[in-house]
Amino acid sequence: MPSTPDLTLLFTALAASCDAAVRARMVEAGHDRVRTVHGYVFQHLLPGPVRVSDLADLLGMTAQGASKVVAEMERTGYVARRPDPQDSRARLVEMTPRGHEAVDAGRAARAAVTAELSADLGPDGDTVIASLRDLAERTGALRELMARRLRP
């Protein structure tokens, strides 16, 4: 490890470890086919149905790419497509009850991983978390995340 910590490397390693831990818990909860990109789709569908073309824009990908992800999620029962009542040529994508279950399982998995990591931080945990939150706010990353503008 270099004498000056490479924060990008540390954050990348920690994010990968957290993602693996969350995925393992998702598998235990019966959602073994959920991929990271599905989480981005779920976040954009939580407020309600979205057209595939709008979803593509929100995800920063082509309509073809978004359609491919939606088709995969549809095959696994997490989303469904239905005609748009405003435009019969367009299709809306919406979460199914199974999709909502996956979101709930993901939230529970993240909470459990957070609790484990917080316990590992020990007595300095609150200070470390406050520093990370401050960095996330100052860089704008937290704002982008909360506005669902972070892209896969």
pLDDT (tens digit, 9 = 90+) per residue, 28-75?
Answer: 999 999 998 899 999 999 999 999 999 999 988 899 999 999 999 999
Class of domain 7-146: mainly alpha
* pLDDT mean across residues, the chain: 91
Position 1 scores a pLDDT of 56
Residue environment code for 126-152, b if the CB has 16+ CB neighbours within 10 A, otherwise e: eeeeeeeeeeeeeeeebeeeeeeeeee
**Segments making up each domain of the chain, as ranges:** 7-146
Position 144 scores a pLDDT of 82
Three-state SS for the chain is: CCCCCCHHHHHHHHHHHHHHHHHHHHHHCCCCCCCHHHHHHHHHHCCCCEEHHHHHHHHCCCHHHHHHHHHHHHHCCCEEEEEECCEEEEEEEEECHHHHHHHHHHHHHHHHHHHHHHHHHHHHHHHHHHHHHHHHHHCCHHHHHHCCCCCC
pTM of the entire predicted model: 0.85
Residue 152 has pLDDT above 60, yes or no: no
Residue 125 has pLDDT above 60, yes or no: yes
pLDDT (tens digit, 9 = 90+) per residue, 90-119?
Answer: 899 999 999 999 999 999 999 999 999 999
